[in-house]
Amino acid sequence: MTGPGPPTTTVAGVAGRRVVHVTTTDISLALLLGPQLRAFAAAGMEVVGASAPGPFVASLTDSGIRHEALRHATRSVAVGQDALALVELVRLLRRIRPDIVHTHNPKPGLYGRIAARLARVPVVVNTIHGLYATDTDPRLRRMVVYGLERAVSVCSQAELVQNEEDVAVLRRLRVPERKLVLLGNGVDLKRFTPSADADAVTRARGVLGVTPDQVVVGMVGRLVWQKGLRELFAAADRLRRRAPEVVIVVVGPSDPEKADALGPEDIAAGRALGNVVFLGERDDVEQLYGGFDIFVLPSYREGFPRSAMEAAACGVPVIATDVRGCRQAVDHGVTGLLVPVHDAGALAGAIEDLARNGPRRAAMGRAGRAKAEAEFDEDRIVDRTLAVYERLLAAAGR
């Protein structure tokens, strides 16, 4: 897997500095942040990842990223474990004395910022990949999530926000403007690119197990109901009769730690529809996108979905729900279509419309690639982050 190109920002102010990135799991460090971490290392920084240990630690180490295990980090709802993870992280930070702590994900974003302040780390940065509540959520959930975010933001000097809608929420919560940075999100545009020739498409469709006359609607994501799989299965059931040429291909790992994870019986029920295929977790998704005619993401909640950006970068039109994050990844009617959340009928209708209109799919795919080049370049995310590091280190006298 290749990472972003060399940083284009001035890096003299970060060279030799130690930065610790804190996430829940090692898969987040390796797959979601890996290219950025390698770019920070190329800028001369000593990069450390802190998370629960797991199978992706070896790939981090192989790429020169040191890993520190947080034994009590968990994705489950476990307040006691979170408190132990906070204590564990404070001890780690006091031992290795980083110049910067950069936190990610909802839970490490909370206890990680607190731990960094308790350990007297000079610079604390948090990335908000998507606030864990939206304006459509119940009032109690919003009060808890927004209240915690506002309270813990006092521990950081910068809040890097991927989504402009979340910036507006944080302003309403009176997070100081000086801390807010609209970061955006990006992918590796050299890795995710339209298939160069027909042979590559044929190979990809061979891996997917589909015939040339079938229309492939692909989804890449964790197997949890929040990703809209219930609606996708219901849409597939309708399409069996209305558009039998459509086959749904779901790519992604199970996520048993989550309360809404699909079980084996749920996957079996999806397969029983006859037009749904499960490929499981894959490390060649950039090739599989070449076999997709349409990409679909019917999520209930997103921050700024990488899979939708990857599909757009590969020239695949995207059908997604009209929620925060998806609205930024898809230009409705131009690069894809947005449908109401929880609406299997609308989802089936959008899939059917594009499945029967090859020229429109092709036009949307070209527009999606252009949007990716203009807005989803991961190199820009690296540059913006390094610029924040430099500014805050200088302000801290480092």
Query: Does residue 8 carry a pLDDT above 70?
Result: no
Number of structural domains in the chain = 2
- Report H helices in 319-377: 326-329, 344-355, 358-375
Determine the pLDDT at residue 196. Answer: 78
Q: Are residues 140 and 265 in the same domain?
A: no
Determine the pLDDT at residue 397. Answer: 87
**Average pLDDT of the residues in 305-333:** 97
- In degrees, rounded to 5, the angle at the alpha carbon of residue 347 between the alpha carbons of residues 341 and 349 is 140
Domain containing 108 — which CATH number?
3.40.50.2000
In a domain, 214, yes or no: yes
Nearest in space to 49 (alpha carbons), one of 105, 122, 131, 132: 105
Query: Is the CB of residue 248 less than 8 Å from the CB of residue 219?
Result: yes
Determine the pLDDT at residue 46. Answer: 97
Structure tokens, 325: 């994050």
Q: Are residues 157 and 234 in the same domain?
A: no
Q: Are residues 108 and 215 in the same domain?
A: no
Percent residues over pLDDT 70 in the chain:
97
In a domain, 130, yes or no: yes
Structure tokens, 25: 């799991």
Determine the pLDDT at residue 270. Answer: 97
Tokens 């034994």 correspond to 71
Residue span of the structural domain in which 61 resides: 18-186+377-395
pLDDT by residue (tens digit) across 129-170? 999 888 888 999 999 999 999 999 999 999 999 999 999 999
d(CA 306, CA 191): 13
pLDDT by residue (tens digit) across 365-393? 999 999 999 999 999 999 999 999 999 99
Determine the pLDDT at residue 334. Answer: 98
Query: Is the CB of residue 262 less than 8 Å from the CB of residue 294?
Result: no
Q: Are residues 364 and 390 in the same domain?
A: no
Determine the pLDDT at residue 195. Answer: 87
In a domain, 58, yes or no: yes
Kind and range of the H or E run holding 378: helix 378-395
In a domain, 5, yes or no: no
Q: Are residues 166 and 252 in the same domain?
A: no
In a domain, 1, yes or no: no
Q: Are residues 115 and 160 in the same domain?
A: yes
d(CA 113, CA 100): 11
Determine the pLDDT at residue 278. Answer: 96
Determine the pLDDT at residue 386. Answer: 97
Query: Does residue 326 carry a pLDDT above 60?
Result: yes
In a domain, 12, yes or no: no
Q: Are residues 138 and 208 in the same domain?
A: no
pLDDT by residue (tens digit) across 224-270? 999 999 999 999 999 999 999 999 999 999 988 888 999 999 999 99
Query: Does residue 6 carry a pLDDT above 60?
Result: no
Mean pLDDT of the chain: 94
Percent residues over pLDDT 90 in the chain:
88
Q: Are residues 129 and 268 in the same domain?
A: no
| Least confident span in 84-93, 190-199, 293-302 | 190-199
Q: Are residues 259 and 353 in the same domain?
A: yes
238 CB-contact burial (10 Å; exposed 0-12 / middle 13-18 / buried 19+): middle
Whole-model pTM: value is: 0.90
In a domain, 296, yes or no: yes
Q: Are residues 143 and 242 in the same domain?
A: no
In a domain, 48, yes or no: yes
Q: Are residues 301 and 358 in the same domain?
A: yes
Q: Are residues 217 and 95 in the same domain?
A: no
